[in-house]
């Protein structure tokens, strides 16, 4: 692909905007409707990969069925000379990941505004039975007056779709991966909300809560490790929300994106900044699902060693109790 290439007889590539794991994003023109668009083209190396191609088609199907001001809209899908492409709404902004790289942290009121808009978009997707499964700063486009659009439904899954991975494989980005996904469980709205909790933590602390040399080590930490205490400068109200989102047990997190948005609205209304003399906000005690031994995600652990985040382990000899 190069500048000047025309796809589908109407979409003209103008300039390369970004390069991702399986595709390139170009600024382009829709000559039929005389408007600028974003063109996502599957990389040549990924064209022959059936899983990548199915993910690409899923993105087209899932995102095209969603219409909301906080979701980047997909207009068209096609194939050019054996290469699949998506035609999307062009968003003149930058990903939240770029903002965090430049500014390190965000003011709490600014962060809450970004989170609330993301919740609004996720609520529409979840209502349609679609879980994003890869919510991260790189997939939140910020533009204008800190307006937000969610993009890249490439690993999303609708409730009527079969999984793209073999048993035991995990999809998503390890740094934002919910514990239940690391353990091979099905994605739910709570999984996307956990990722929002990681984003919120990173945005106020200047670092992610779980880091390690490899993706597998990070996934293990998501399952096993306590959330490190937030800085004392974080307001108690926002800290409470973040710890709530980062519960290991998905049933202990907010029940929906709409519920989370309402909670954030109340937090913003009641005030965010903690007084300088306020004591450090205690970290939330790990859920009763705490394990005495470290556990591993399913890609490297036999099935019998995969604990259930939604099961409370009792003392030896006692039965397991579901939450």
Active site residues: 134
Residue 184 neighbours by CB under 8 Å, 6+ apart: 167, 168, 169, 170, 297, 298, 306
SS3 87: strand
The residue among 192, 308, 196 whose CA lies nearest residue 248 is: 308
Residue found by looking up tokens 């740094």 in the block: 175
Q: Got the DSSP string for 49-81?
A: -HHHHHHHHHHHHHHHT---TTBPPEEEEEEET
| Whole-number CA gyration radius for the chain | 21
User: Using CB atoms within 10 A of its CB, is residue 62 exposed (0-12), middle (13-18) or buried (19+)?
Assistant: buried
283-307 CB burial, b ≥16 within 10 A, e <16: ebebbebeeeeeebbbeebeeeebb
């Amino acid at each position: 692909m190069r500048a000047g290439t025309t796809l589908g007889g109407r979409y003209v590539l103008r300039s390369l905007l970004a390069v991702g794991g399986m595709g390139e994003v170009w600024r382009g023109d829709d000559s039929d409707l005389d408007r600028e668009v974003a063109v996502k083209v599957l990389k040549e190396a990924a064209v022959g990969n059936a899983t990548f191609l199915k993910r690409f088609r899923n993105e087209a199907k899932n995102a095209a069925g969603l219409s909301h001001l906080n979701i980047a809209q997909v207009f068209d899908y096609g194939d050019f000379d054996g290469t699949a492409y998506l035609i999307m709404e062009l968003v003149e902004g930058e990903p939240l990941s770029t903002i965090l790289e430049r500014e390190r942290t965000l003011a709490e009121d600014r962060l809450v505004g970004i989170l609330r808009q993301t919740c609004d978009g996720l609520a529409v997707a979840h209502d349609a039975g679609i879980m994003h499964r890869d919510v991260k700063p790189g997939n939140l486009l910020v533009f204008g007056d800190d307006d937000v659009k969610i993009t890249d439904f490439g690993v999303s899954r609708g409730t009527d779709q079969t999984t793209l991975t073999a048993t035991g494989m995990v999809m998503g980005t390890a740094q934002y991966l919910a514990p239940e996904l690391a353990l091979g469980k099905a994605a739910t709205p709570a999984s996307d909300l956990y990722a929002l909790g990681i984003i919120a933590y990173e945005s106020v602390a200047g670092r992610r809560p779980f880091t390690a040399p490899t993706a597998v080590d990070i996934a293990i930490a998501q399952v096993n490790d306590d959330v490190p205490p937030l800085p004392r400068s974080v307001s108690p109200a926002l800290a409470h929300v973040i710890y709530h989102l980062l519960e290991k047990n998905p049933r202990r997190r907010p029940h929906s994106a709409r519920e989370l948005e309402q909670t954030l609205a109340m937090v913003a209304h009641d005030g965010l900044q903690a007084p300088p003399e306020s004591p450090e906000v205690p970290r939330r005690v790990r859920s009763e699902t705490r394990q005495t031994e470290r556990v591993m995600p399913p890609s490297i652990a036999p099935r019998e060693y995969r604990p259930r985040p939604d099961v409370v382990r009792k003392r030896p000899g006692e039965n397991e109790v579901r939450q």
